[in-house]
Structure 1
Amino acid sequence: MKKQLLLFLSIITFACSENDEPQVQSSGNVFIINEGSFGASNASIDIYNTTDTTYQLAAYKNTNGDFIGDVIQDVEIDNNIAYAVLNGSNRVVSFSLADLKTIDALQASVIDKPRYMTIDGNKAYLTVWGPYGENYSLTDSKIVVIDLTTFEIESTIATEPGVEQILEHSGKLYVSRNYYGAYNNLTIIDIASETILADLRIATGPDEIFVDNQNRVWVACSSGALVEIDTNTDNVSQTINLNGEILSDVEFFEGKVYYYQGNAVKAVDLNSPKDETIIDNVELGLPYAFSINPDNGDIYLGDGVAYGSEGEFIHYTSDGEFVAVFTSGILPTQFIFR
C-alpha cells in the first residue's frame, strides 16, 4: 500500500504501496495489478490486449473464482511464474502468467507487512516491515530469503527499519528505506555473507531502484532526485535534480529516464541531464502508476481516481498520442508486459 498509508496515518487504518514494475518483453498483453482497498481483500489483476485494445476486468478473479488477496504491494516475474506480494494478507502468492491460475502461497509469522521482492536465480529477497511499535514505529524490519525451488523461507537478514524497494545487482542488494518520510536511506547488502555494507543517507523520498545501460545503479526519489550509487565504493556518485516532486515510478528506456511530474510525462538523458516533455496536461485524480512498454516505448498510466473507488488505466503511444482509457480495479499500481 504504497500510497494508502498516508490516508491510514490520518484515520488509523493501514494501507499499502506499489511497486514498481516487473517487466518482460511485450507480445501483446499488459497485466494491470490493482492494489485494492486495505482490509477488503479485493486486490485484482486485469488484462489489456494491445493488439485489439480490449480490456478484461478482474481476469484473475474470473479464472480462480476469488480475488488474489488483500493489497498487492508488488509482483515479480521469474520466467512464466509471477510472485505477488500481498501486504495486507501477509503472504506471497505464485501464479502462472500463461493462464493466471494460482500455483502456491507462502505465509509465515516472519512475513509481517511484506513490501517488495527481487529475484536472483532460485532465490527471492523480500523486504518486510515487521511489527509496529509505539505510535506505529517499526521495530523489526528485515529481508526474508525465499528458496523458490521449494517455496520455503531459507533465512532472514536483519535491517534498519522501513525497508522498501529492493534490487539485486552484481552480488549485492540495494534497498531503499523511506517509511513515508521517516527515513531517507539506501541500504546496501552483500548477498554472499548476508551482511550490510552501507546505509547511505540520500535525497528525500528514496523509492524505486534501477540500472541503466551503462550498468550504473540509480535510486529515484519522490522529491525529484535521481541518485547514482558507485557500486565499487558503495557511496553516492552523483545526484540529478529534476526540479520538483515526481511519481517515483520511473522507467529507463533507450538511454533516458521517463517519469511523471506535474501533470506531464517527461524524459531526461542521464548523461546530459536536460529534460523534455513527452505528454503535457495529463490530468490524473490520484497519480498511482507509470510505466513504459519495453517492446515499443508506449506509455501507460494508472489513475487511482480516489481511494476505495475503481481506477483508470490509460494508454499512449511512445509519441504521446492517446490510444485508450479503461476503468480498472481499485488503485492500479503496476503493469506487467508480456
Structure 2
Amino acid sequence: MISKKITLLFLSVTLLFTSCNSDDDNNGNESLGDYENGIIVSNEGNFGQGNASITYTSDDLSIIENNVFSAVNGRALGDVAQSIAFNDDLAYIVLNVSNAIEIVNRYTFESVATIDTGLNNPRHIAFANGKGYVTNWGDGGVATDDYVAVIDATTNTMSSQSIAVEEGPEKIVANGNTVYVAHQGGYGQNNVISVINAATDVVSTTITVGDVPNSLRLDSDGDLWVLAGGTPSWTGSETGGKLSKIDSSDYSVTSIDFAGTEHPSFLALENGTLYYYLSGSVYKMDEDDTVLPTSAEITGLSFYGMEVKDNVLYGVDALDYTSNGMLLSYSLSSNEVTNFANTGIIPGGVYFN
C-alpha cells in the first residue's frame, strides 16, 4: 500500500512538473506579434499624395506584406514616411510632409499615439535619457529656424522645449546621454555634427566633418563614424566625400578623403567592417584601414538606401519613383543576389525588427 501511494505521488509530481514546464515553454515561445523577427521597410510614397506605407518581410524575403499600417489600423499612414526608430516595444514613424510622428507597437503595428504638434519638416529621431530627439529642418530655405524637438518618451508627448541647432539637421544617433546630429544643410550644404547633452538638452559642442554628412554609425567602442557625400556639382563648388571617425573621448577627428567628384552614401557597419555605396556599387573596408578600397564588392546597383545584418546586405531600389519599389538581399560571402521583394512607393529605410 505504501509503495502504491509513493508511486502515485511520484506520478502526480511528474505530471505537475511537466505541465508547468509546458506552460513555461509556451510562454517563452509566444509571439509578440505578426511583425516580430523580420524586416520593416519605410516607403516614402509620392510627395503630397499621402500614400506613405510600411512593408514587412521575413529576413529571407520569402514572406512579404505591404501596407501594414493601413491594414492594421484601417487608415492611411500619412505623407512621406521619412524614417523609423525603435524604442523598447514601440516604433516611431516620422512623417515629413504630414509634420507628424505615428507611434505603433513595433510587433503588431497597432497605433499607440500620434504626435502632430511641435514638428516642422521632421526628419529623423533617436532616444536618450527617456526622451526622443527629432531633427527638424523648419523652412528648408531658412538657415535660422532649424531645431531638434524633444519628446517625453514615457508619455509620448511633445516637450515645450526645443533645441536650436545649425542648418539642416538630418541623421541622428545616441550613445548613452550623448546625442549626435549630422547637418546636411537643408536645401543648402553644411559640414558639422552637433553634440547634445541629453541630461541638459544643450548643444555642448559642434564638430567639423566633410561637406554634407549623410550617415552616422557607432562602433563597438562608442566612437562615431561619419560619411559625408560632399557638395554636389550642380552647386558650382563641388567637393568630394569624406569618411571620418570621431573619438568619443575627446571628439578628435581622423578622416579619409574621396576623390573630388566622388559622392558616397549609405554607410553601414557590422563586426568591424564598413560598407558604403558609391556610383552604383557597394564597397567595404575594415575599421582600421587608412585608405579607401580600390575595387567594389557589388556593382550595377541603383540603391535608395541600404543596411547590413548577419553578412547579408539589404538594399532598396525606388525604380521609377512613382510606382512600387523593391527590396533586394545580397550574400556578402558570394556577393550574389539571394532574393527580392516588392515594396511600396519609394522605399527608403530598412529596419531590423
TM range (shorter): 0.7 to 0.9
Amino acid at match of 1:89: S
1:269 aligned onto 2:275: no
Q: CA RMSD in A?
A: 2.2
Distance 2:205 2:346 in 1: 34
Unaligned runs of 5+ in 1: 1-25
Q: 1:28, 1:49 within 8 Å by CA — same for their partners in 2?
A: yes
Closer/same/farther in 2, CA of residues 122 and 329 from structure 1, 3 Å limit: same
Equivalent positions of 1:141-156 (< 5 A) are 141-154=146-159, 155-156=161-162
Alignment partner, residue 165 of structure 1: 171
Alignment partner, residue 100 of structure 1: 109
- Alignment counterpart, residue 133 of structure 2, candidates 107, 113, 125: 125
Distance 1:238 1:122 in 2: 32
Computing the radius of gyration over CA atoms, which structure comes out larger, 1 or 2? Answer: 2
Equivalent positions of 1:1-338 (< 5 A) are 28-51=37-60, 53-108=62-117, 110-131=118-139, 136-154=141-159, 155-178=161-184, 179-223=186-230, 224-234=241-251, 236-243=252-259, 245-273=262-290, 274-275=292-293, 279-284=297-302, 287-293=303-309, 296-319=310-333, 320-338=335-353
Amino acid at match of 1:118: A
Q: Cα distance, 1:309 vs. partner?
A: 2.5
Q: 1:316, 1:323 within 8 Å by CA — same for their partners in 2?
A: yes
Amino acid at match of 1:248: S
Amino acid at match of 2:268: E
Distance 2:183 2:196 in 1: 13
Distance 2:201 2:59 in 1: 42
TM-superposition CA deviations, 1:55-94 (whole Å, max 9, x none): 2122222222233111111110012210011111101110
Distance 1:33 1:247 in 2: 22
Q: Cα distance, 1:258 vs. partner?
A: 1.0
TM-superposition CA deviations, 1:204-250 (whole Å, max 9, x none): 1212211112321121112332112233333x420123446355221
Give the 3-state SS of the residue equivalent to 2:71 in structure 1.
Answer: helix
Give the 3-state SS of the residue equivalent to 1:283 in structure 2.
Answer: coil
1 or 2 for the larger relative contact order (CA 8 Å, sep ≥6)?
Answer: 1
Distance 1:27 1:150 in 2: 24
Distance 1:337 1:127 in 2: 22
After alignment, is 185-194 or 81-90 more displaced? Answer: 185-194
Distance 2:144 2:47 in 1: 22
Alignment partner, residue 5 of structure 2: none
More strand by share: 1
Unaligned runs of 5+ in 2: 1-34, 231-240
Amino acid at match of 2:242: A
Give the 3-state SS of the residue equivalent to 2:304 in structure 1.
Answer: strand
Q: Cα distance, 1:303 vs. partner?
A: 0.8
Amino acid at match of 2:325: G
More helix by share: 2
Distance 1:104 1:69 in 2: 14
Q: 1:75, 1:85 within 8 Å by CA — same for their partners in 2?
A: yes
Distance 2:324 2:61 in 1: 23
Closer/same/farther in 2, CA of residues 130 and 180 from structure 1, 3 Å limit: closer
TM-superposition CA deviations, 1:73-132 (whole Å, max 9, x none): 111001221001111110111011211111110111x21111111012421111111235
Q: 1:312, 1:328 within 8 Å by CA — same for their partners in 2?
A: yes
Give the 3-state SS of the residue equivalent to 1:62 in structure 2.
Answer: helix
After alignment, is 326-335 or 169-178 more displaced? Answer: 169-178
Amino acid at match of 1:200: I
Report % sequence identity. Answer: 26
Give the 3-state SS of the residue equivalent to 1:63 in structure 2.
Answer: helix
Closer/same/farther in 2, CA of residues 48 and 195 from structure 1, 3 Å limit: same
Distance 2:90 2:188 in 1: 33
